[in-house]
Homo-oligomer: A and B are copies of this chain.
C-alpha cells in the first residue's frame, strides 16, 4: 500500500464517516470558509519546526481567519504534499494534527494527499459557523473609530529572527514560541462579534501596518497610527530588539505572524468594551490610533502628522 493510501486510511480511522467521498456535504447554515497555504522554506523551516509545532501553527493560522470573522470552527480539509524524504515528519505532523482537531472539536472532512518533489506543502481549508447577530467585516470602519489590537505586535517577528540566526540560547529572552505556536483568538473573536460598537475586524498576519492598510482601504477610510501610544512595548522586547539590532517601534509596526485581532471601536463604547475584555481575558486591548477620512495609513507623534518610513514584513530573505 503506498504512503498516500496509508495516510488516507489512517485519517479515515481517526474521523470515521467523514472522509472518503469525492466531496463532503455541509449541513450547517451560515458557514464561514477560509483557506491558507504553508510552504516549506517560505512559511516554515523543517530545521526548527517540530512536526507537532507545525501542526499547531498550520491549524491556528487558519483558525485565526475564522476567529477574525467571529466564527466557531467546526470542520477542516487538509491538503498535504509530501516529499519522499519527509514521510516520517509528515506522519508525526498528521498525528498531532488529529490530536489538535479533536481537542478543538473540529472534524477533518476531506482533503488531498500527494507526493511533492522536494518541499513539504500544506493547504488547509477551514469551515466555521457564525452564531452571532451579525458578522464584522474589515470594511466597516467609521470616522473616529479607535483602532485597537488584541494580542502581541512584533513578538513572532523577534522569534523568526532569533530562529533564523540560530542563536536562541544567547538571547536575553526566547521569542521562538510566538512564531512557532501562535494561538488563534477564537474566544476574543466571538467576544467582539457579540459587542455593539465594533465596526471592523480582521486578524494581523502580515504585520500591523500592512493589514491596517488593507482594513482602511476596504473601508474607504484613512488609518492614523499614533506612535505615542506604543508605550506598551516592554523591557524584554526592547532588549531583544537591541540584541537583534532592530528598532522596537518598527518591529511592532511591521512584524507579521502574531495573529492578533485588529478592530475598530466606536468611541462611545470603547471604555465598556475594554473593561469587559480585560475582565474576561485578563489582558488589555491596545489602542494604537483612529480612523478618519482619507486613504492609506498616516502616523502622528506629539499630535502632529509625521513622515514615518517602514519596510513591510517579509518571510525569509
Residues in chain A within 8 A of chain B (CB atoms) = 2, 20-27, 29-37, 39-43, 64-66, 68-69, 71, 77, 79-81, 109-112, 114-119, 121, 123, 125-128, 130, 135, 137-139, 202-203, 214, 218, 312, 315
CA distance A126 to B111 in the complex (A): 11
Q: Which residue of B lies closest to A71 (CB)?
A: B23
Residues of chain B with a CB closer than 8 A to A23's CB = 32-34, 65-66, 68-69, 71, 126, 128
Which of these, B65, B114, B130, contacts A37 with CB under 8 Å?
B114
With A117-B42, A119-B117 known as contacts, the answer to whether A112 contacts B22 (CB < 8 A) is no
Select one of B21, B35, B137 contacting A202, CB under 8 A. Answer: B21
**Does A34 lie within 8 Å of B128, measured CB to CB?**
no
Integer count of this chain's copies in the complex? 2
CB-contact partner of A112 in B20, B36, B110, B139, under 8 A: B36
CA A209 – CA B254 in complex, angstroms?
A: 53
Q: Pick from B20, B39, B114, B130: contact of A138, CB below 8 A.
A: B20
List of B residues within 8 angstroms of A21 by Cβ: 68-69, 137-139, 202
Cβ–Cβ contact A111 & B22, under 8 A? no
CA distance in complex: A128, B26 (Å): 10
Given known contacts A22-B65, A37-B121, A115 and B32 CB-to-CB distance under 8 angstroms: no
